[in-house]
Structures are given as structure tokens and as C-alpha cells.
């Protein structure tokens, strides 16, 4: 199974979470993994939906994202003592096998 959903652990997740009133539940990477395991899926992995390189502009976005990602990791490390699970994007993918 492949899922794409809002990452409520993201700094700007509310932009997506509350944009559509049909979004009743929000997930963090950890909670989405829990739900998938609980419903019988195995080999669950969660990935960030990062910029995809397909040209010059997207390469610039990708490079900028790499810098922003390191800043977010540093910020979380300073604030909480942990850099989290590495999924910092507003949306994320999850895959699992049943």
C-alpha cells in the first residue's frame, strides 16, 4: 500500500491539514506507522515528500531544501534534544506490505 498524507509534525502542517474540511485525522510519521502496523501491514516505512529534481529550477529548490532541512534538524535538536525521525516535509509517503 502507498499512502500520501499531511505530516502534522511539519512546521506548516496546518496549511494542509485544515485547508480541506474532510481531513478529519492528522498523522505524524510515528502515528501513521502505528496505524499501519495495527491494521496488519508489515515492512512499514515513511518517507518525506521532498522536491524532485527535473530541471534547473527544481535543482535550486532541492538544494535550498537540503539547507532548510539541516536547519530544522538543528532547531529540533536544540529545542528537544532529538532531531526527530527525519520527515520534515509538509506531506509524506508511507508504504506497507500486507
- Phi, psi at residue 96, to the nearest 5°? -155, 160
The pLDDT value given to residue 14: 73
What SS3 class is residue 18?
A: coil
- How does pLDDT run across 5-60, given as a tens digit for each residue? 989 888 877 776 677 777 778 899 999 999 999 999 999 999 999 999 999 999 99
18 or 82, which is more confident = 82
Using a cut of 0.75, tell me whether the model's pTM lies above it.
yes
49 or 84, which is more confident = 49
The pLDDT value given to residue 65: 95
- Phi, psi at residue 8, to the nearest 5°? -75, -5
Contact 52, 93 (CB under 8 A): no
Amino acid at each position: 500500500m502507498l499512502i500520501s498524507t499531511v505530516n502534522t509534525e511539519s512546521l506548516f502542517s496546518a496549511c494542509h491539514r485544515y485547508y480541506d474540511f474532510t481531513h478529519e485525522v492528522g498523522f505524524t510519521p510515528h502515528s501513521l506507522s502505528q496505524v499501519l502496523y495495527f491494521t496488519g501491514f508489515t515492512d512499514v516505512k515513511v518517507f518525506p515528500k521532498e522536491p524532485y529534481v527535473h530541471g534547473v529550477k527544481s535543482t535550486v529548490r532541492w538544494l535550498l531544501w537540503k539547507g532548510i532541512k539541516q536547519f530544522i534538524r538543528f532547531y529540533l535538536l536544540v529545542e528537544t534534544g532529538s532531531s526527530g525521525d527525519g520527515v520534515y516535509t509538509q506531506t509524506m509517503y508511507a508504504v506497507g506490505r500486507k
